Homo-oligomer: A and B are copies of this chain.
């Protein structure tokens, strides 16, 4: 076959399989979203429509890829977490990141007009880049999630104050920046409250906490989870075989679960204790319809 003469070029493909038994976080970011948000006149400090569109796209990614256990989004970035036992695409990094980025982009573009009905998209279209990072332990993973949520808080407090100074305080960007340089959280809270009658605590949770996307199972009473979280639970061959037999059942439960969006604290233990399925990867109970 004539083709065989050229087929040697396949030998230049190099493997990029991610280390087994580690948590895979794929974080994607909007490309040039500073410019993009200006073009479509996003509201400041937060544009609810844009965040809702981001969340809609993230929900579609979770619905498409059941191996993702949780996702967390702020501003124009989203982090998707594959469970440490994930074997999707043989854990090939390129496949995982491009599939997420492509699926997310497809939904962002496709659903755009639902959220921005009066502003049709034009070139350059919105796009996202992404990368994978591995975390070997639950603590590392939770610290990653905490890092993003603390970042959300810090940025939102700053932006809320910054834009209050401009929009209500009548100063320009330079002055606002100067005023906030070196300020502490308490200072910003004070500016908001004393000058603009804004109690930061009353700001919408979506802005203060970011968005968590996950499958919706019945919450568990802390301390009652039947199985303690064990980093190494399913690592022996017997257990892997056992879990193989449960896999099909789990897949069905996951498919039945509703993908939902929350705006809550993910730093404290409670969030994780009440949702043991996130770390165990064993689907919980589907909540009964009211």
Contacts of A9 in B (CB 8 A): 133, 135, 140, 143-144, 147
Q: How far is the CA of A121 from the CA of B133 in the complex (A)?
A: 33
Contacts of A135 in B (CB 8 A): 9, 12
A21 touching B130 by the CB < 8 A rule?
no
Contact of A15 among B15, B97, B107, B151 (CB under 8 A): B15
Q: Is A224 an interface residue when CB atoms closer than 8 A count as contact?
A: no
Q: A102-B105, A140-B12 are in contact. Are A94 and B235 (CB under 8 A)?
A: no
Q: Is A186 an interface residue when CB atoms closer than 8 A count as contact?
A: no
Q: A150-B6, A237-B8 are in contact. Are A22 and B136 (CB under 8 A)?
A: yes
Interface residues of A in 82-110 (CB under 8 A from B): 84, 92-95, 97-99, 101-110
Q: Is A38 an interface residue when CB atoms closer than 8 A count as contact?
A: no
Q: How far is the CA of A238 from the CA of B5 in the complex (A)?
A: 7
Tell me how far the C-beta of A36 lies from the nearest C-beta in chain B, rounded to whole angstroms. Answer: 12
Q: Is A125 an interface residue when CB atoms closer than 8 A count as contact?
A: yes
Q: How many copies does the complex hold?
A: 4
B131 touching A94 by the CB < 8 A rule?
yes
Q: How far is the CA of A144 from the CA of B235 in the complex (A)?
A: 12
Contacts of A121 in B (CB 8 A): 110
A137 touching B136 by the CB < 8 A rule?
yes
B3 touching A134 by the CB < 8 A rule?
no
Contacts of A287 in B (CB 8 A): none
Tell me how far the C-beta of A155 lies from the nearest C-beta in chain B, rounded to whole angstroms. Answer: 10
Contacts of A128 in B (CB 8 A): 98, 102
A/B interface sample: 9 pairs, CB < 8 A: A4-B237, A6-B147, A7-B237, A12-B20, A21-B140, A95-B129, A95-B131, A101-B105, A110-B121
New A-B pairs, 6, CB < 8 Å, besides A64-B124, A98-B129 = A6-B144, A8-B235, A11-B20, A12-B135, A14-B15, A138-B231
